[in-house]
């Protein structure tokens, strides 16, 4: 039995993985309250005592704007904790599936970023995630991978889709940035990909893959789709990022090239708009 440990179990992806695997006795899930990953001794003990063979690290500091102010906390979780987790995985010969982000890129490209493209994060969150990636690559963990994804949403937690649904009920108009483009990704699709494709992944070192839903759009396009699908009368007005001040800069173009993933795992990636329509229906059905 492959003993799998999912960290960040209360997060969006963690909860999607729970929805798929909670009843599977080979899986265990921990929240921050149950096991704070900053406690290295506890992490090592947990891995050893539970004879963990695979870790899916969904825990992260994901508050992009807050990271600009609380940079230390972001680096602690996204870089230092990841490096420690990697060392523990190496010591106990554990496979690590680590999640990362499109925000490791600078957004100046004009075609999708392959996994081999140079990174150049433009905010603290992106830099802290990238430094976490680099720490893992330096460890060269066998059978392990860094899985970058982008613009995650789900029925759980807070995300752009749920924010727009809420604003769509409250406001007559919402202004949304139209010059930042990416690939919205349904966390449920991602969770399914992880459990069906990655648990017996083999490699001699830590590999990098991209998983995102197919197609691409701007935040504005995404908001329009959300309002239309939820039958909201709220107007969506396109604005440039320069007109929407945020503490963190966001990349203009952070489209992940998923070709390597499609080729190596022989998978087709669902289109962002069909997965999004399904998620909106789920959210509306549950009120
Ligand atoms: N959200 C997105 O749009 C994207 C996310 N990603 C990456 O995907 C992964 C999953 O993201 P997502 O599910 O959205 O993230 P969430 O922010 O929803 O979940 C992260 C989880 O990490 C937990 N956590 C925070 N600090 C600690 C700690 N010290 N010890 C243990 N757990 C801790 C949080 O616990 P608590 O609930 O108690 O705060 C939270 O449940 C992350 O690596 C993220 O960087 C990549 C691209 C896009
Ligand atoms: C709420 C709102 C946001 N925006 C803009 C701000 C920003 O440019 C863009 C997205 O804003 P958010 O803060 O929701 O999304 P953000 O936190 O930037 O999302 C990112 O999260 C991290 C964790 C990732 O890894 C990324 O892949 C990405 O998903 O939309 C508007 O233009 N109008 C609005 O009313």
Q: What's the CA-to-centroid distance between 139 and ligand 2, angstroms?
A: 32
Tell me 240's DSSP state: -
213 CB within 6 A, ligand 2: no
Whether residue 44 is contained in a domain is answered as yes
Using one digit for the tens of pLDDT, what is the confidence trace for 15-31?
Answer: 999 999 999 999 999 99
Q: What is the pLDDT of residue 1?
A: 82
Q: CB neighbours of 21 closer than 8 A, spacing ≥ 6?
A: 4, 6, 27, 195
What is the predicted ipTM? 0.99
Q: Which two tokens mark 143?
A: 């059978």
Q: Per-residue pLDDT tens for 258-284?
A: 999 999 999 999 999 999 999 999 999
The CATH number of residue 31's host domain is: 3.40.50.720
Nearest CA to ligand 2 atom 11: 160
Per-residue model confidence as pLDDT tens digits over 200-225: 999 999 999 999 999 999 999 999 99
Does residue 286 belong to any structural domain of this protein? Answer: no
How far apart CA 6 and CA 35 sit, in angstroms, is: 11
Look up the domain containing 206 and give its range: 4-150+187-214+254-269
The answer to the question of residue 283 being in a domain is no
pLDDT band (50, 70, 90) for residue 154 = very high
Per-residue confidence band for 286, with pLDDT thresholds at 50, 70 and 90: confident
Give the number of domains in the chain.
Answer: 1
Average pLDDT, the chain: 97
Domain contains 244: no
- Residues carrying an active site annotation: 125
Question: Is residue 128 domain-resident?
Answer: yes
pLDDT value, residue 98: 98
């Amino acid at each position: 039995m492959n003993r799998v440990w999912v960290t960040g179990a209360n997060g969006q992806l963690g909860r999607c993985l729970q929805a798929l695997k909670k009843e599977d006795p080979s899986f265990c899930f921990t929240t921050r309250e149950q096991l704070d990953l900053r406690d290295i001794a506890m992490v090592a003990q947990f891995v050893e005592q539970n004879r963990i063979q695979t870790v899916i690290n969904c825990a992260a500091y994901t508050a992009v704007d807050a990271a600009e102010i609380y940079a230390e906390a972001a680096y602690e979780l996204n870089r230092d904790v990841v490096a420690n987790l990697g060392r523990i995985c190496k010591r106990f010969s554990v496979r690590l599936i680590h999640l990362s982000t499109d925000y490791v890129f600078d957004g100046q490209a004009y075609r999708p970023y392959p996994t081999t493209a140079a990174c150049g994060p433009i905010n603290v969150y992106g830099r802290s995630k990238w430094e976490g990636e680099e720490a893992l690559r330096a460890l060269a963990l066998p059978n392990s991978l860094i899985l970058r994804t982008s613009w995650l949403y789900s029925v759980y937690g807070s995300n752009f889709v749920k924010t727009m649904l809420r604003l769509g009920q409250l406001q007559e108009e919402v202004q949304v940035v139209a010059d930042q483009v990416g690939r919205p990704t349904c966390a449920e699709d991602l969770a399914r990909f992880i459990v069906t494709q990655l648990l017996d992944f083999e490699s001699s070192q830590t590999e990098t893959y991209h998983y995102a839903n197919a197609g691409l759009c701007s935040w504005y396009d995404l908001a329009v789709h959300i309002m239309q699908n939820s039958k909201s009368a709220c107007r969506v007005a396109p604005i440039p990022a320069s007109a929407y001040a945020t503490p963190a800069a966001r990349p203009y173009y952070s489209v992940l090239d998923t070709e390597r993933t499609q080729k190596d795992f022989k998978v087709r990636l669902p289109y962002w708009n069909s997965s999004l329509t399904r998620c909106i229906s789920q959210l509306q059905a549950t009120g």
